[in-house]
Amino acid sequence: MKPIRRGLIPAAGIAVVAILLSACGGPVAASSAVIVGEQAVANTTLDNYVSDLHRALNQPVDQADFEAMQAALNRLILENLIDQSSAKLGIVITDADIQAAIATAEASLGGHDQLLAVLLESQIPPSAINNAFRLSLTLEKMGPVLVPGTDTKAQQQAVYDYVFQLAAEIGVTPNPRYGTWDAAQLTLGALPSDLSTPVSK
């Protein structure tokens, strides 16, 4: 496989790893994995994401562990926050934009299968490829919109600050069965004390 050129692969779980999140919010319905503001991510969405990932990795679909569920939910939370941020900023990514970015990555890596392999290393299943590229393109556009004419570092900081403020404003509330939101560590953390057994698929 050809060397991976920086910037070609979506950075949804990497370039925005420093985004600070807030843990405020209301109760979560049993059918939801998390509430981000007023938007719910359904348990079925999380289950399907993890099942697709395990299937692509040739792992048992019905044996997702707690850590795998948390990691997937973290990504879905980030996707939702970035989507809501881009909507507020008026940023639009078209299907043509996404397909062009995918084609560029495939050409650099040596084909579709090579791209799939690289994305799987980042725990991105085939069914989430379009979303991953959409988020990457969104992040690229957010910086110049927030602080036009500045360098990359300043733009990344602006994105960091913007998503942090949005998360604090709207709230991020996970279903307790998937853990509590740890804003200091920027991730889902331990289960609440009244839940003794982690969720499993």
Whether the predicted pLDDT of 2 surpasses 50: no
The reported pLDDT for the residue numbered 183 is 64
Whether the predicted pLDDT of 20 surpasses 60: no
Chain centre to alpha carbon of residue 51: 16
Q: What whole-number distance in Å separates Cα of residue 154 and Cα of residue 163?
A: 14
Query: Is 183 within 8 Å of 33 (Cβ atoms)?
Result: no
First CA to last CA distance, the chain: 34
The reported pLDDT for the residue numbered 25 is 43
Q: Which tokens in the block code for residue 121?
A: 């290393």
Q: Which tokens in the block code for residue 55?
A: 């299937």
The reported pLDDT for the residue numbered 195 is 59
CA-closest candidate to residue 173, choices 64, 18, 32: 32
**28-37, 71-80, 176-185: lowest mean pLDDT where?**
176-185
- Whole-prediction pTM value? 0.78
Whether the predicted pLDDT of 15 surpasses 80: no
Rg (alpha carbons) of the chain, rounded to whole number: 17
Q: What whole-number distance in Å separates Cα of residue 199 and Cα of residue 201?
A: 7
Whether the predicted pLDDT of 60 surpasses 70: yes
Amino acid found at 76: L
Token pair 């948390």: residue: 70
Whether the predicted pLDDT of 28 surpasses 80: no
Whether the predicted pLDDT of 201 surpasses 60: no
Phi, psi (deg, nearest 5) at residue 41: -105, 115
Phi, psi (deg, nearest 5) at residue 64: -70, 130
DSSP H or E run through 75: helix 66-89
Mean pLDDT across the chain, nearest whole number?
82
CA distances from 96 to 80, 130, 162, 172, 177 (A): 21, 11, 27, 31, 38
Whether the predicted pLDDT of 136 surpasses 90: yes
Whether the predicted pLDDT of 174 surpasses 80: yes
Q: Which tokens in the block code for residue 46?
A: 């999380």
- Mean pLDDT along residues 94-105: 97
CATH architecture designation of domain 32-188: Orthogonal Bundle (1.10)
